[in-house]
């Protein structure tokens, strides 16, 4: 079995995933091929991987060449970040000059749109290479914006088997179980929607609804009402599955208003600090490995290792995946990318239909899907004007800026990102 890590220079993520994989004793011997376009980061990833795999039947190889890395692969885990921290700063700093606030900027919104646009050319290269050298492999995508990237992979590349993976639903269930005082292993839950904006449709223990206990917990701690996702839950009736920092920028209600930012303690621009800390952690790991000092690695039990284990050993388990909507969520558009429970076993990853979402939840999801569709179409149809249309459809952007300012911001970002943009978008129309 061969597993390829694409964007392996994301060293912390690489370490956690590999630690998860080597924790499965029944996987036996396997190969991990590391790929990155940054030589120093690739060297660091390889050094870390050899430490983690020491004494285990794992073959490690490192490749600057994408095709060589993918040859004969059974699984490819995608975690690339095109443009790295410099592009992230552009996504925040340019919109901020126009008065547009963002928190994480990696899913929808202006930041999500432009992160997708600079990622799509890399997905083209990955898709073509996989079709040529490992056509039956599973592509397990972690790169954000999750829904746009999976949609683009399905619409524009020859990849056969792709599923997007995110840990937000699991950690929401984990945190809610802790909040209501029930062990997670005694909790059952069902969630569905779109990535970073799914909804906890059922939250139960022993057949009993745990939502009343959540209400009691909120009553005991009014400070919880100063969190965006709790505010959304109280108004919509279903708990959103992504953090308040994320959730704030997917809706039109909060970030344009100073009093709401203060009331809900929204950390505007938070991802810049997170990204800078990620760089510091990478540098600390690099320096420790160069000096021969030990590094601390903890498993994460992310979905990708679980899927690899299930497909390889036939162990059946349920994970949450981002896949094209083919009747899975009945009141969201066909063909969009939805987040639903999936069965992983020897047959692969098979999504489960969940029926209709609550109408108010589906309404918010459809606004999110509109941004996704226009962004994907901008590239697949070679229509630069759809970038502007996606920004106009985005809830937070539309609530903050006039259409003229949106148009100006679109041009400024296309220019600022320059050659990172798909070629068809470089001449703005």
57 pLDDT more than 50: yes
Q: What is the mean pLDDT of residues 29-38?
A: 97
- Are residues 261 and 243 in contact, defined by beta-carbon separation less than 8 angstroms? no
**Rounded CA separation 230/217 (Å):** 11
Compute the residue count for the chain.
429
β-bridge pairing 188-194 and 197-205 = antiparallel
300 pLDDT more than 90: no
428 pLDDT more than 70: no
- Whether residue 144 is annotated as binding a ligand: the answer is yes
pTM: 0.97
279 pLDDT more than 60: yes
Banded model confidence at residue 427, pLDDT cuts 50, 70, 90: low
Cis peptide before 268 (omega within 30 of 0): no
- Are residues 35 and 8 in contact, defined by beta-carbon separation less than 8 angstroms? yes
Mean of per-residue pLDDT scores for the chain: 96
Which bin fits 327, alpha (ψ -120 to 50), beta or left (φ > 0)? left
- Are residues 39 and 64 in contact, defined by beta-carbon separation less than 8 angstroms? yes
The pLDDT tens digits for 188-247 are: 999 999 999 999 999 999 999 999 999 999 999 999 999 999 999 999 999 999 999 999
Q: What is the pLDDT of residue 429?
A: 44
What percentage of the chain exceeds 70 in pLDDT?
99
Active-site annotation holder among 35, 38, 167, 389: 167
Query: CA–CA distance from 257 to each of 8, 101, 224, 251, 403 (Å)?
Result: 39, 10, 20, 12, 18
> For residue 404, what are the contacts with CB-CB under 8 A and spacing of at least 6?
none
Nearest to 282 by CA among 48, 6, 20: 48
Structural tokens at position 22: 């080597």
Crossing angle of helices 168-180 and 211-220, rounded to 10°: 70
> For residue 107, what are the contacts with CB-CB under 8 A and spacing of at least 6?
144, 145, 146, 147, 195, 196, 246, 249, 250
- Whether residue 118 is annotated as binding a ligand: the answer is no
Residue 418 has what DSSP assignment? G
> Which helix (H) or strand (E) element contains residue 35?
strand 30-35
Domains present along the chain, CATH in parentheses: 83-105+165-268+300-429 (3.90.1820.10)
- Whether residue 196 is annotated as binding a ligand: the answer is yes
Q: What is the pLDDT of residue 298?
A: 85
**Rounded CA separation 295/245 (Å):** 30
- The lowest-confidence range among 5-14, 95-104, 367-376 is 5-14
249 pLDDT more than 50: yes
Beta-bridged to residue 410, according to DSSP, are none
The pLDDT tens digits for 123-170 are: 999 999 999 999 999 999 999 999 999 999 999 999 999 999 999 999
**Rounded CA separation 201/390 (Å):** 28
Of all residues in the chain, what percent are helix, strand and coil, respectively (each to 5)?
55, 15, 30
Is 256 marked active-site? no
- The rounded Cα 409 to chain-centroid distance in angstroms is 25
The half-sphere exposure of 170 on its side-chain side, counting CA atoms within 13 A, is 12
Q: What is the mean pLDDT of residues 36-59?
A: 96
Q: What is the mean pLDDT of residues 8-27?
A: 92
What percentage of the chain exceeds 90 in pLDDT?
96
Query: CA–CA distance from 327 to each of 85, 149, 155, 322, 340 (Å)?
Result: 38, 20, 17, 14, 11
- Whether residue 410 is annotated as binding a ligand: the answer is no
Positive/negative CA dihedral, 12, 337, 420, 112? negative
Q: What is the pLDDT of residue 417?
A: 97
**Rounded CA separation 187/173 (Å):** 8
Q: What is the DSSP string of 53-109?
A: TTTSSEEEEEESSHHHHHTT-SEEEE---TTHHHHHHHHHHHHHHTT---SS-SSSH
Beta-bridged to residue 239, according to DSSP, are 200
């Amino acid at each position: 079995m061969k597993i390829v890590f694409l964007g392996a220079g994301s060293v912390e993520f690489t370490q956690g995933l590999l630690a998860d994989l080597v924790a499965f004793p029944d996987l036996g011997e396997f190969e991990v091929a590391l790929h990155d376009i940054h030589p120093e980061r690739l060297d660091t990833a390889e050094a870390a991987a050899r430490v983690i795999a020491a004494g285990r039947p794992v073959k490690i190889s490192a490749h600057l060449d994408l095709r060589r890395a993918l040859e004969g692969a059974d699984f490819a885990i995608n975690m690339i970040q095109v443009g790295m921290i410099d592009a992230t700063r552009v996504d925040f700093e340019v919109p901020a000059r126009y008065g547009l606030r963002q928190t994480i900027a990696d899913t929808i919104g202006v930041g999500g749109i432009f992160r997708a646009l600079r990622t799509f050319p890399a997905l083209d290269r990955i898709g073509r290479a996989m079709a040529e050298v490992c056509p039956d492999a599973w592509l397990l995508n972690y790169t954000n914006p999750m829904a746009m990237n999976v949609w683009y992979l399905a619409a524009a590349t020859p990849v056969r088997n792709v599923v997007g993976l995110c840990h937000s639903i699991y950690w929401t269930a984990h945190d809610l179980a802790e909040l209501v005082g029930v062990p997670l292993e005694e909790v059952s839950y069902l969630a569905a929607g779109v990535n970073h904006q799914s909804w906890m449709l059922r939250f139960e223990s022993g057949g009993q609804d745990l939502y009343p206990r959540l209400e009691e917990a909120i009553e005991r701690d009014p400070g919880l009402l100063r969190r965006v996702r709790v505010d959304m839950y109280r108004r919509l009736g279903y708990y959103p599955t992504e953090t308040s920092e994320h959730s704030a920028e997917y809706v039109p209600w909060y970030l344009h208003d100073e009093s709401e930012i203060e009331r809900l303690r929204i950390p505007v621009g938070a991802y810049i600090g997170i990204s800078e800390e990620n760089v510091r952690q990478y540098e600390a790991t690099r320096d420790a490995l160069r000096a021969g000092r030990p590094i601390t690695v903890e498993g994460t039990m992310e979905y990708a290792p679980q899927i690899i284990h299930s497909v390889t050993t036939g162990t059946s388990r349920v994970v949450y995946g981002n896949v094209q909507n083919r009747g899975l969520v009945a009141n969201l558009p066909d063909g969009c990318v939805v987040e639903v429970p999936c069965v992983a076993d020897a047959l692969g990853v098979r999504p489960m239909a969940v029926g209709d979402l609550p109408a108010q939840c589906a309404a918010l999801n459809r606004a999110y899907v509109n941004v996704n569709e226009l962004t994907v179409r901008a590239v697949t149809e070679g229509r630069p004007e759809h970038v502007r249309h996606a920004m106009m459809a985005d809830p937070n952007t539309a609530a903050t800026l006039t259409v003229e300012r949106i148009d100006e911001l679109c041009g400024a970002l296309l220019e600022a990102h320059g050659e990172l943009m798909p070629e068809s978008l470089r001449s703005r129309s």
